[in-house]
Structure 1
């Protein structure tokens, strides 16, 4: 799973210590799934209980998801009954969904502060796609808001990998839509014979690239930046991408995605330095957690 280090303008754990949380997340995720799988395998072999017995004795598998101290990862999870997964694939998906919820919390709160969270992100399939299918060593900024010389700049999708920064623009046309680059300002979409004009996605990508370059220059950092136009289920015709730009469409998506999944690089120091620099220039909107506010008021 990629790590969500910034979501819009929410306060993030990673902003507190960029050099601590990435490795902590990977360790917690690995240990937690190992423990969960062991418990799942153990309970698969247990005899089927009658309904009264099931009501009387909650399985340890349920407790892992319903009690923070059992899992030592999930915070403030509500109590709910979960059916025992039928196979390891289902178990992994259940686990990934739990980690997704956990990541949203890390990306919108710290121990002392919390941001007002828009629940639309809980069902954001694009966000889930990047978090659940990309490697643990990929650090994601999703729709971040930057502050540059008093100007507010909205970003799109930025992924800091161990080797470079990817600025990604996702084309959201219907499956089978064809995109045709026209000029520097516009592209055309062709869907079931209907032709429409859309803004050239490279405009936003170039804006993000320029902004990131200025941040890196300010911090005296060097790191490659590349732009990706992603159309997983569509076609892009007449592909003549500019330098450090890649068009990924229906024809080459699997090859591109497999290369990412096979990435074996660990998290690198320069990657963390770059991520820290980017986070320093993002906007943060938050309030103190009530419990901390009460303690502060009592002390004062």
Structure 2
């Protein structure tokens, strides 16, 4: 599961210590899943031994997932989830899906609050399928910036999707649609054509936004004297992209190449790198953050 480092202009745990939180997330995720899997196996075994259970045991079963994570004293740990489901997962794949759904909620919390500050999270992100896709389908070592707002020379620049991997920065423009009959045709430097069900319309060339993102990121890296590969990706899982040639360091991923690209992304086994975290920290340093003090900390300050 990729890590949500920055969401729009919300305050993020990762801004406090980029060299601490990515590794901590991976460790906590592993520890909690192993504990829950063991509990699930024990409950399944118990059900096989005693298929007829009393009403009290049914209540216990319903509350199996009421406490997903260990309760920690510090607010920056995975916390107790007060949520129950009606029955145990039937298999481990279902268990994993349920587990990731719950961690997704923690990702949103970590990307919109710290111990002292909080941002007002737009609830639309809780059901954002695109955000869930990039978080749930990629490795733990991929660090995601989702619609970040960069501050460059007193100007604000809105980004799209940026993934900092152990080997490169991926600037991604999402072109996806549920309709597999859609065709995107690269026309010129300013526009593309989108054809679907016999209808055709012009859209802005995705490379314009990608080039703008690349320029912002490159200026930040140059400022910090960091050398890191930047890739640009136009992504359409279901559509077809027609083009004569792609710009330098730009990959067009459509239905014909998606599975290979996705497999390569998913199966990467490269661990977190120091240089990667250094890059992630540099980008965070130049993002906009809008937040307020948590109410309890305002009370403390007033007392002081």
TM-score, with length taken from structure 2:
0.93
Which SS does the other structure have where 2:67 is aligned?
A: helix
Comparing 261-270 and 34-43, the one that deviates more? 261-270
- The Cα of 1:243 is off from its aligned counterpart by 1.0
- The Cα of 1:80 is off from its aligned counterpart by 3.5
Does residue 167 of structure 2 align to residue 149 of structure 1?
Answer: no
Contact 2:169/2:229 (8 A) holds in 1: yes
Take 2:17 and 2:155, find their aligned partners in 1: how far apart are those partners?
26
Match of 2:251 in 1: 246
Equivalent of 2:302 in 263, 282, 297: 297
Match of 1:125 in 2: 129
Take 1:294 and 1:136, find their aligned partners in 2: how far apart are those partners?
37
Equivalent of 2:285 in 261, 280, 284: 280
Equivalent of 1:228 in 229, 233, 236: 233
**What is the 5 A alignment of 1:174-189?**
174-189=179-194
What does the per-residue CA deviation read over 1:23-43, in whole Å, with 9 as the maximum and x for residues that have no partner? 000000011100000000000
Does residue 74 of structure 2 align to residue 64 of structure 1?
Answer: no
**What is the 5 A alignment of 1:70-85?**
73-75=77-79, 77-85=81-89
What does the per-residue CA deviation read over 1:146-184, in whole Å, with 9 as the maximum and x for residues that have no partner? 111111110000000001100000003433200000000
- The Cα of 1:86 is off from its aligned counterpart by 0.7
For structure 2, list consecutive stretches of 5 or more residues without a partner in the other structure.
none
Which SS does the other structure have where 1:153 is aligned?
A: strand
Which SS does the other structure have where 1:62 is aligned?
A: coil
What does the per-residue CA deviation read over 1:83-104, in whole Å, with 9 as the maximum and x for residues that have no partner? 2101101000000101111111
Contact 2:64/2:84 (8 A) holds in 1: no
- The Cα of 1:68 is off from its aligned counterpart by 3.4
Take 1:288 and 1:76, find their aligned partners in 2: how far apart are those partners?
23
Equivalent of 1:49 in 46, 53, 69: 53
- The Cα of 1:76 is off from its aligned counterpart by 6.0
- The Cα of 1:238 is off from its aligned counterpart by 2.4
TM-score, with length taken from structure 1:
0.94
Take 1:149 and 1:227, find their aligned partners in 2: how far apart are those partners?
23
Take 1:199 and 1:184, find their aligned partners in 2: how far apart are those partners?
9
For structure 1, list consecutive stretches of 5 or more residues without a partner in the other structure.
none
Match of 1:115 in 2: 119
Which SS does the other structure have where 2:121 is aligned?
A: coil
- The Cα of 1:124 is off from its aligned counterpart by 0.5
Take 1:74 and 1:285, find their aligned partners in 2: how far apart are those partners?
24
Match of 1:35 in 2: 35
Match of 2:195 in 1: 190
Contact 2:191/2:202 (8 A) holds in 1: yes
